[in-house]
Amino acid sequence: MSEEDHQFSQAQQATHPARKIVFGSLISLSVLPIAMLLIAVLWSVKPMIKQSSAQNDAAQESAATNGHAKGALINFATCATCHGVNGEGNAKMHAPRIADLPPWYVKAQLEKFQNGLRGVNPTDVYGQTMRPMAMQVQDVDAMAKIVSDLEGHRGRFAPAGPVIAGNIDHGRVLYAQCVACHGVNGLGERGVKSPTIAGQESWYVQQQLMNFRSGTRGISTADREGNLMRIIVAPLSDADIADLAIFVNAIGNKKTVTPQ
Ligand code: HEC
Ligand code: HEC
């Protein structure tokens, strides 16, 4: 982590409780999309204001080097409010771990949110939280690189939980159906555009498999990857999905997950 990033993190951590209050009161006003935009703008400029002018110059220079568009989200500060400073995820915000994701997948998902292939279905409560954030990212390549460069890349986080209940041995058996695309180790396969899933939080894996099954995610005919996942999960029961979710979580974190 560079000196400058470190200061961003510190600035965020220092003001964390205030941020919670802002979130809570705005959500209760039912103006979530507008609130999210405002918060995002505030949070992307706030760390800049706190820095001395020399540091500010350095930050701007680094933003320019990374090719970020001016006026758009130019760093991870906003994303961190939900996904955590290191992209480790935050169950309370229903925001998944994103530090382990490859840049091409992050880019593809940001574009799906932007193009209305994800996060538009009225039943997709959490996707609708993410969509206004993606709308502000002008340079998806730069943002995808920032995400994939986060510390903790590749399974360095223990699951933050809650780890859902399920039968991990049955999950292992069912996972045979997933190997062709996500690989034995759950690392994904760029050729079929399937992401790394190993070590992802079980609650998020469960949620996404449910979303694919119900058509909350992947329903548009233009979403070919989502359509594929919908076919795979169609025959799975709720219990199958839970079993798969805890197995997938355990692939990347052998030391931390005990079967329940
Ligand atoms: C207000 C909270 C919030 C903020 C801020 C936020 N996200 Fe998200 N993000 C979410 C939630 C919630 C989801 C899960 C959506 C779902 O359940 O389908 C998500 C999902 C994602 C995904 C899809 C992950 C996957 O495995 O498919 C990516 C990529 C992502 N966010 C990147 C970002 C980036 C980059 C930023 C900053 C520009 C950001 N997010 C800001 C809440 C947020
Ligand atoms: C035919 C290839 C294929 C098979 C088989 C497959 N997947 Fe996928 N999976 C994909 C693709 C492609 C995506 C990306 C979807 C998108 O772009 O929205 C994906 C996405 C996912 C996601 C969402 C990840 C995220 O970060 O949001 C999960 C979870 C997942 N798959 C789990 C599974 C499980 C569990 C199985 C086995 C039961 C499975 N997949 C079988 C291709 C496949």
Identify whether 245 is part of a domain: yes
pLDDT tens-digit map of 210-222: 999 999 999 999 9
Q: Which residue has the higher pLDDT, 41 or 85?
A: 85
Say if residue 184 is in the same domain as residue 256: yes
| Nearest alpha carbon to residue 179 among 163, 197, 167 | 197
Identify whether 190 is part of a domain: yes
Say if residue 168 is in the same domain as residue 148: no
CA separation for the pair 256, 260 (Å, rounded): 12
Say if residue 131 is in the same domain as residue 171: no
Band (pLDDT 50/70/90 cuts) for residue 83 is very high
Say if residue 221 is in the same domain as residue 252: yes
Question: How high does pLDDT run on average in the chain?
Answer: 76
pLDDT at 22 over 70: no
Output the CA 246–ligand 1 centroid distance in Å.
21
To test the ligand 1 pocket, which listed residue (113, 117, 126, 130) has its Cβ within 8 A of the most ligand atoms? 130
Residue located nearest, by CA, to atom 38 of ligand 1: 79
Output the CA 180–ligand 2 centroid distance in Å.
10
Residue 44 is predicted with a pLDDT of: 41
Range of the domain at 128: 77-152
Say if residue 110 is in the same domain as residue 145: yes
Window from 16-30, 179-193, 215-229 with minimum mean pLDDT:
16-30
pLDDT at 117 over 50: yes
pLDDT tens-digit map of 148-164: 888 655 555 666 666 79
Residue 156 is predicted with a pLDDT of: 59
Residue located nearest, by CA, to atom 3 of ligand 1: 82
pLDDT at 90 over 50: yes
Q: Which tokens belong to 218?
A: 């992947």
Residue located nearest, by CA, to atom 41 of ligand 2: 178
Q: Which ligand is nearest to the CA of 222?
A: 2
Identify whether 135 is part of a domain: yes
Helical H runs in the chain?
3-14, 16-28, 32-50, 53-65, 77-83, 103-115, 125-135, 140-148, 168-174, 179-182, 202-214, 224-233, 238-251
Q: Which tokens belong to 22?
A: 């802002």
| Nearest alpha carbon to residue 199 among 182, 176, 180, 174 | 182
Band (pLDDT 50/70/90 cuts) for residue 123 is very high
Q: Which residue, of 152, 184, 199, is where some domain finishes? A: 152
**Phi, then psi, of 198 in degrees rounded to 5:** -55, 130
Q: Which residue has the higher pLDDT, 46 or 165?
A: 165
DSSP reduced 3-state for 136: coil
Most confidently predicted of 7-16, 129-138, 244-253:
129-138
Identify whether 132 is part of a domain: yes
CA separation for the pair 57, 48 (Å, rounded): 10
Say if residue 182 is in the same domain as residue 144: no
Identify whether 100 is part of a domain: yes
Q: Average pLDDT of 116-134?
A: 96
Q: Which residue, of 96, 127, 152, is where some domain finishes? A: 152
Identify whether 63 is part of a domain: no
- The number of folded domains in the chain is 2
Say if residue 133 is in the same domain as residue 201: no
Residue 72 is predicted with a pLDDT of: 61
Window from 68-77, 89-98, 140-149 with minimum mean pLDDT:
68-77
CA separation for the pair 24, 255 (Å, rounded): 35
Q: Which residue has the higher pLDDT, 173 or 85?
A: 173
Identify whether 252 is part of a domain: yes
CATH number of the domain where residue 102 is located = 1.10.760.10
Say if residue 212 is in the same domain as residue 259: yes
Q: Report pTM.
A: 0.78
CA separation for the pair 237, 174 (Å, rounded): 11
Say if residue 258 is in the same domain as residue 169: yes
Say if residue 185 is in the same domain as residue 216: yes
For residue 194, the cross-strand partners are: 189
**Residues found in the chain:** 260
Residue 251 is predicted with a pLDDT of: 87
Q: Which residue, of 152, 178, 193, is where some domain finishes? A: 152
Say if residue 147 is in the same domain as residue 175: no
CA separation for the pair 197, 245 (Å, rounded): 10
| Nearest alpha carbon to residue 255 among 159, 151, 149, 116 | 159
CA separation for the pair 171, 241 (Å, rounded): 8
Q: Which tokens belong to 130?
A: 């993410």
Say if residue 148 is in the same domain as residue 171: no
Identify whether 62 is part of a domain: no
